[in-house]
Amino acid sequence: MKQYYTQMEAAKKGIITPEMEIVAAKEDMDVEPLRERVAQGVIAIPCNVRHSSISPEGIGMGLRTKINVNLGISGDCKDYSVEMQKVDMAIRFGAEAIMDLSNYGKTNTFRRQLIEKSPAMIGTVPMYDAIGYLEKDLLDITAEDFLRVVRAHAEEGVDFMTIHAGINRRAVEAFMRDKRKMNIVSRGGSLLFAWMMMTGNENPFFEHYDEVLDILREFDVTISLGDALRPGCIDDSTDAGQISELIELGNLTKRAWEKDVQVMVEGPGHMAMNEIEANMKLQKRLCHNAPFYVLGPLVTDIAPGYDHITSAIGGAIAAASGADFLCYVTPAEHLRLPDLSDVKEGIIASRIAAHAADIAKGVPHAREQDDAMADARHKVDWDEMFKHAIDPEKARAYFESTPPADRHTCSMCGKMCAVRTTNMILEGKKVEFCSEL
């Protein structure tokens, strides 16, 4: 007999859960409007009933833009201790979510440790883990095998799972008709496409979608509907394959809500700046205002080594236009597995993008930290400035690397500091430079 409600089921019944109260307090909003939006599906609170260390967060309409950090081992980088250091860094810099994308060997030991210690919500892509977990080649894996991996992740306490259920035969037909430069760049999507083409079968996550939802509902796991046909270069954006899959995702969203399973929908990808706003509005329209989770978008294809910047530009535009959740991108994107320095750069870039978008969207209290920084700069109070900086350690290190003669200025302008000059005049003081040389 079931002993609890999912967040969506409770919300539909008018029940305010402890998780809703925590999220409402974090967002500084009344809990009743939050409950109503969870019931409608426009806000999700990914929170597996077995993730006891979680500090719940809300994703969706009217809330702060959240960020996700990807990590995990690969066949070429197998050191779980390094990945756990990345976890510590993600938590330290306030990432609300961590996705374990490990795709080598037995990953469940690391995942269990991650879930045990992390207050951030944890996401996975079961498709990545299937080959290692099952110890089978792709062609030998059955639909039932894929469902076994989904259940295993749910039982371990994963809060949300990327399930590529939208790349069905109809979406594949559209993709095949409309030729692309980069074809399929989603790792999970490419594996499913290969499995479908080799076996001749329908996508198992689409064909057995109700069974997937039953597993997720049992543990209150949020489904993150993966965009297997997301564009991998700006030339492929907003094409037939991407839009065809998006239409399928809209239908899958409604089917999940009918079973009281919370939903997020994943989005592009690579996309020119002038297309981003229209894509955000199209996704919200086709997917019934479900929370939107974007990877980037990367606004140009020519900046390997700097893709945290191209992603932050696209992410800020996307979130200002309606996206709710940004997946970070590091300088190592397209090049290698990110190291600790890359992870930090990616987190900071995404946090800047999310915060800038929250200001643009008029999220309540989003500007308060900026106003506090402006007050500190007006007073030339360096300690107060560092306190309000996204990365206080870096800001302090830069300032102190070339210390000014007068701490009321910095080494760029010295005594010609505009703030110092104006403050002195407004205080009735005389500004003199030659006498001070």
Binding residues: 70, 99, 128, 164, 186-188, 227-230, 266, 270, 293, 334, 410, 413, 417
End-to-end Cα distance, the chain: 83
* CA count, 13 A, side-chain hemisphere, 90: 33
Angle, CA 248 vertex, CA 301 and CA 277 arms, to 5° = 45
What b/e sequence results for 399-410 when a residue is b if at least 16 CB atoms lie within 10 Å of its CB, and e otherwise?
A: beeeebeeeebb
The annotated binding site for [4Fe-4S] cluster is made up of 410, 413, 417
DSSP 192-230: HHHHHHHH-PPPHHHHTHHHHHHHHHHHTPEEEE--TT-
Residues in the chain: 437
Collapse the DSSP code of 245 into the 3-class scheme (helix H, G, I; strand E, B; otherwise coil) and give the result: helix
- CA distance to 123, 315, 328, 341, per residue, from 332 (Å): 21, 17, 11, 10
Closest CA to 432 of 408, 416, 414, 419: 416
Q: How many angstroms separate the CA atoms of 217 and 150, rounded?
A: 12
Closest CA to 198 of 137, 249, 129: 137
Which DSSP letter does residue 234 get?
Answer: G
The annotated binding site for substrate is made up of 70, 99, 128, 164, 186-188, 227-230, 266, 293
The annotated binding site for Zn(2+) is made up of 270, 334
- Looking at the DSSP bridge assignments, the partners of residue 225 are 163, 265
